[in-house]
Amino acid sequence: MTTQGDAVRVRLANKMVRSRDLTATTGELMNMGSAASLEMPHPVLIESAQGAYLTDADGNDYIDFQIGFGALVLGHKHPDIQKAILDQVNDKGWHFGLHNPGQIPLAEQIIKADNCAERVIFCNTGTEATMYAIRVMRAFTDKPKIAVFNGSYHGAHDYGIGIADPDSPANAPQWRAMGAGVPDGIASHQMMLPYRSEAAFDLIRANKGDLAGVIIEPAQSSNPQMGDDIGVFLQGLKDVCAECDVLLMFDEVITGFRFAYGGAQEFYRVQPDIVTYGKILGGGCPIGAVGGRADIMHLFSALGSDPRGIMSGGTFSGNPLSMAAGFAQLHYLDTGRAEIYPKINALGQRLADGINNYARSNDMAVQVLNAGSMFQIYFTDLPIHTARDIPPGKSQAETDFYLHLLDKGILVPGTRRSFVSNAHTEKIIDEAISRICASLDCIREDGLI
């Protein structure tokens, strides 16, 4: 008997031939990467994009919920950003190496936001930004340890890929690296804290003599929620860090300029000592940034003049193309913030409510969590408080569900961390809800949920 899962695999194979063949070719030429963001349920290569839609190499169209892994908050090929890029390329050039005037207005836009940044440095990725932030926190405090939270992700460098050992206690998790190639000694300078638990505050107090800084995603990308209790937790974290002379860093690579123009800091009215940005900041071009208190940020330009001065730099850091695209996007967000942020947050909630109501009314063990316009679908109906409550691995139901989504023209990234953009509309969201619920029906018909 042919199942819905069997049928969808045949349909995808027939209509995504070029994506499949090109993926096989690239496997002979280059490594596609093992990050979850690249692990799609079926080979798909994207040829073009417009607004809230992607088109693959075979001409299939998709409602896009990866939206540049969250970077394209205005959607694909927004005319203001496109014009800024073309003007920069055609009239001025796209790489100088030295500083350029375009860095100034973008830095001013960051500082204008309701955040902690008094000064800013630019780099090329969110990974670089968190790496530099960790370095400057250690230099400023002259302490070696950095603490992160269970369920967090802070970039692909050795200090950013920590996960909690599943065998360690929930209120005293142990840091371990994700994957091989990370020296054992890294763990001696890292701490793992329990998310949304006051036990974290006790661990900070107990380790304050060695602890340079605490890093937190103000809304975890792996567990997107933004309730009042999270704001209370963030304020408590700020208070205990100040009490213990430990720096607090918000990793706003994902949340920056998404919840509000001032990011999670504006939304929760909690300001850390230092912040990192990426994604939305670049308007779709590669970018990272570190901002913070002036006395901390001083160390980025103090190498040789201050024993605490740190090294930072990169060939493409602050490159003019990213500055032009980033300024165009932030300026548009700034001038339209009163309309844009209520809209995208409401659309994210509309999507979550639509799927959750359908799942509950049909007794399906599925739920959507969302933090405004950021959302993720989980195959459990049990409450999710922290990452430990998320079922490990990918079930057959989940695998087949995302195959059905692709077949029905919905693209979700391999991480499952999804985003709504300003290019999405209520009509598009309602159509997406319909297709997502139809995909749930398919896996239920096969007895998978």
Assess whether 124 and 222 both reside in one domain.
Answer: yes
CATH of the domain at 217: 3.40.640.10
Asked if the structure places residue 71 within a domain, the reply is: no
3-state class (DSSP) for residue 275: strand
Three-state DSSP class for 259? coil
Do the beta carbons of residue 420 and residue 429 sit within 8 Å? yes
Q: What is the pLDDT of residues 98-136, one digit of tens each?
A: 889 999 999 999 999 978 999 999 999 999 999 999 999
Determine the average pLDDT of the residues in 358-383: 95
**What does the alpha-carbon distance between residue 40 and residue 323 come to, in Å, rounded to a whole number?**
31
Parallel, antiparallel, or unpaired for β 46-50 and 53-56? Answer: antiparallel
Per-residue model confidence (pLDDT) at position 38: 53
What is the average pLDDT across 246-275? Answer: 96
For residues 136 and 228, membership in a common domain is answered with: yes
Please report whether residue 70 resides in a domain: no
Respond yes or no: is residue 268 known to be catalytic. Answer: no
Shared domain for 83 and 56, answered yes or no, is: no
Identify the residue whose tokens are 């309602």.
Answer: 430
- Compute φ and ψ for 255, nearest 5 degrees: -80, -20
Query: How far is Cα 50 from Cα 52, in angstroms, rounded to an integer?
Result: 6
Range with the poorest average pLDDT among 54-63, 236-245, 309-318, 355-364: 309-318
Domain total in the chain: 2
Domain boundary among 289, 313, 335: 335
pLDDT, residue 389, reads 86
| Residue from 251, 273, 400, 407 carrying the catalytic annotation | 251
Same domain, 191 and 305: yes
- Nearest CA to 138 among 231, 210, 51? 210
Please identify, among 335, 354, 381, the residue that sits at the C-terminal boundary of a domain: 335
Residue of 153, 277, 378, 402 with catalytic role: 153
State pTM to two decimals: 0.92
In whole numbers, what is the pLDDT of the chain averaged over residues? 91
Asked if residue 147 and residue 100 are part of one domain, the reply reads yes
Residues of the domain holding 241:
79-335
CA dist., res. 168 & res. 174, Å (int): 6
123 and 263 assigned to the same domain: yes
- Look at residue 72 and tell me if it is in a domain: no
Exposure on the CB side of residue 438, measured as CA atoms within 13 A: 15
Q: Is there a single domain that holds both residue 430 and residue 295?
A: no
Distance CA 96, CA 94 (A): 7
Max CA separation in the chain (angstroms): 75
User: Does residue 74 sit within a domain?
Assistant: no
Please check whether residues 83 and 172 belong to one and the same domain: yes
Which of 319, 335, 351 marks a domain boundary? 335
Is 394 catalytic? The answer is: no
Domain of residue 49, CATH code: 3.90.1150.10
* Residues 6 or more apart in contact with residue 261 via CB below 8 angstroms: 113, 114, 333, 334, 337, 341
pLDDT on residue 448: 86
State whether 308 and 274 are in the same domain.
yes
**Residues 295 and 269 both lie in one domain:** yes
**CA–CA gap between residue 148 and residue 164 (Å, rounded):** 10
Q: What is the DSSP string of 29-45?
A: HS----SGGG--SS---
9 occurs within a structural domain: yes
Q: According to the model, what pLDDT value does residue 26 have?
A: 56
Pair (285, 188) in one structural domain = yes
Spatial separation of the C-alpha atoms in residues 167 and 160, rounded to whole Å: 20
Residue 34 pLDDT level (bands cut at 50, 70, 90)? very low
Judge if 189 and 108 occupy the same domain. Answer: yes
User: Does the annotation count 363 as an active-site position?
Assistant: no
Helices (H), 161-257: 199-206, 228-243
- Of 143, 145, 238, 279, the catalytic one is 279
Looking up tokens 């400023």 gives 140
Query: Does residue 315 fall inside a structural domain?
Result: yes
- Stronger pLDDT, 258 or 170, i.e. the higher one: 258
User: Pairing between strand 247-251 and 211-216?
Assistant: parallel
**Distance of alpha carbon 274 from alpha carbon 72, whole angstroms:** 24
Provide the token pair at 187.
């763990």
- Residue 218, both tokens: 């103000």
Q: Is the pLDDT of residue 160 over 60?
A: yes
Residue 95 one-letter amino acid: H
